[in-house]
Chain A
Amino acid sequence: MNTLKAKLPPISQLGPFIALVIACVIFGLTTDNFFTGANFALILQQVMVVGVIAIGQTLVILTAGIDLSCGMVMALGSIVMTKFAVDMGLPAPLAILCGIGVTAGFGLINGLLVTRIRLPSFIVTLGTMNIAFAITQLYSEAQTVSNLPPFMTALGGTFDIGSTPVSYGTLLMVLLYLAAWFWLRETASGRHVYAVGNSPEATRLVGIATDRVLLWVYVLAGVFYGIASLLLVARTEVGDPNAGQTENLDAITAVVLGGTSLFGGRGMILGSLVGAIVVGVLRNGLTLMGVSSVYQVLITGILVIIAVTVDQLSRKGAR
């Protein structure tokens, strides 16, 4: 028993990679056109929005919090940046910054309510999720915003690696992941995020301002949601008030599949990227196989349960 438990922690970290490899092998064997560079580039492009949201979500979950507002906040950010540019005629870069400012503002509100009034993040973000949704609908009058300036959709453009067209948005997503990984791993402030999630009391006692760390995590998460807004706009070439309705749970799914513990303090940011890709690979592969989307939902559900179970068992093992 002890040896089994001792071996479990690495599985929780390797799990997402194993799931990804298995899925790829199965789809590679059962379909003709899964294993092409173009198809992989496409899957990356399809997960870039949820992938970047998942960076913010991972930060929040590492502090043992959760953020339900991320999808709706992203939708609001995309409506603000597109309407500011199209209706108010603001220069595109400024409009984009305004959109990211709004999402960061929501992060700030979440963070203040969590740190100052000590409300649970689940409830706070449930509230701000609804507020962001309502403002999005009212401000946009439920109308799609189109005819965007080219600058805004530039990240949707592609460049060739070999003969495979890769979008700039995908590149940005990968760079953001590498930056977040470096920050969390190599800097003191990054390690503090883990420490706050592990044991806020002990962290406070060694002289770290835990509330300030928490507040910054929520603000930073808001910035990532704002970047996701821009990626969504670049990908779809419109501001869509009906976007973002399932992205909160999609992002949490990616983070959990990626092996980050919902209890906080443990996990790796790159796992979230793999988690997001696993969901994208399932969607793509099952469509290529001609299998009903219900099975995608079923398989994702089973994988989430497995991921959480492995995490829980490895926690017991570590104790």
Chain B
Amino acid sequence: MKKLAFCAVLSATAFAATGAFAAEPVIGLITKTETNPFFVKMKEGAQAEAKRLGAKLMTASGKKDGDTGAQITAIENMVTAGAKTILITSSGDAIIPAVKKAQAKGVQVIALDSPFDGADALFATDNYKAGILIGQYAKVALGGKPAKIAMLDLFPGHPVGAQRHNGFMTGFGLKANDAKSNELSATPETVCAADTDGNQAKGQTAMENCLQKDPAINVVYTINEPAAAGAYNALKKAGKKDVIVVSVDGGCEGVANVGKGVIAATSQQYPLKMAAMGVAAGVDYAKGGKKASGYVDTGVTLIAARAVAGVDSKDVKTGTDLCWGKK
């Protein structure tokens, strides 16, 4: 295991050292973390597309979500190393000044997955729509019963968390803020809200506390699939059946959990596509000098084991074919 850690250090150094004198277009990819399967898949997509189009890809990442310091350093290093396009999944708005400096030197900066002000373009999942899809599904799946909903969120103040949360409520037919809001909406139907940090153990704790508040909860919205797995564990231990758990992500573990009945439905997003489109835009810019612009929706698909009337969904097999992570 120590050998592995040593290799990681070596390869990190190698990434930092390469790339200065390449003739082909140099494109940088900066992710939030190195290890999350979502970003691993993103990197795979970028590498494949770079190989296909004859571009050189440099990669870097923060240590964990929120590690903007490492991302800023990576932007500076990549600009120095001659990157003309940088693709970045922002860990926070602290990177914006560094992005502006890079753009002033003629570098195209594209936001992947997470939006921030000042990016030339954004290739990302429509998180509000991802929320709407699972909201619509949960509404139909519940039938006419009065809804008692637990909202298992990320943490306060995160735009992606707010968009999924408010999108879910809108899809469910409840009054909620629009996609631009960072505030989490609440109505009498959302009987409980708690934070999970997108983490399984904390998702379980949050669900346990919500069941104490209202044991009759029949719908559970979760920010991501680990939180959903934690919620399911809490429901199982409390002997609750027929509670509809919905989520967002579409990772392979999550899709497998849809197959097992842990999660009723999940909105699947496509990191590979975001990265591939980003690399293609980088090559275009290097060749033609034309920057990408605006927002491109990379698509989201509802994956459910059991389809319900009036809501389009794909089955677990399709979800597994398209999922990210280890199958």
Contacts and interface: CB of A to CB of B under 8 A. Distances in A.
A199 interface: no
B8 A134 contact: yes
A189 B17 CA distance: 52
A287 B206 contact: yes
A29 to B, nearest CB: 16
Q: Is the interface of A mostly helix, strand, loop or mixed?
A: helix
Interface stretch (B23-31, B47-55, B133-141, B207-215): B207-215
B221 to A, nearest CB: 15
A216 B199 CA distance: 33
A242 B195 contact: no
A131 interface: yes
Given A141-B326, A236-B200, A135 B156 contact: no
Contact of A144 (B35, B200, B205, B206): B200
Interface in A277-315: 283-284, 287-288, 290, 292-294
B4 interface: yes
Nearest to A143: B326
A143 B193 contact: no
B204 A235 contact: yes
B4 A139 contact: yes
A243 B212 contact: no
A67 interface: no
Given A139-B4, A293-B156, A294-B156, A288 B212 contact: yes
B299 interface: no
Q: Which of A45, A236, A283, A284 has the most CB of B within 10 A?
A: A236
Contacts of A241: 35
Contact of B5 (A131, A141, A143, A290): A131
Nearest to A102: B1
Interface string B1-12: 110110010000
The bracket for how many chain A residues form the interface is 35 or more
A63 B153 CA distance: 39
A198 interface: no
Given A143-B253, A284-B209, A243 B1 contact: no
Contacts of B45: none
Contacts of B325: 143
Contact of A46 (B37, B192, B208): B208
B233 interface: yes
B35 A142 contact: yes
A126 interface: no
Interface of A: 31, 33, 38-39, 42, 45-46, 49, 130-131, 133-135, 137-139, 141-144, 156, 232, 235-238, 240-243, 245-246, 283-284, 287-288, 290, 292-294
Interface of B: 1-2, 4-5, 8, 34-37, 40, 63-64, 155-156, 192-195, 197, 199-201, 204-206, 208-210, 212-213, 226, 229-230, 233, 237, 253, 325-326
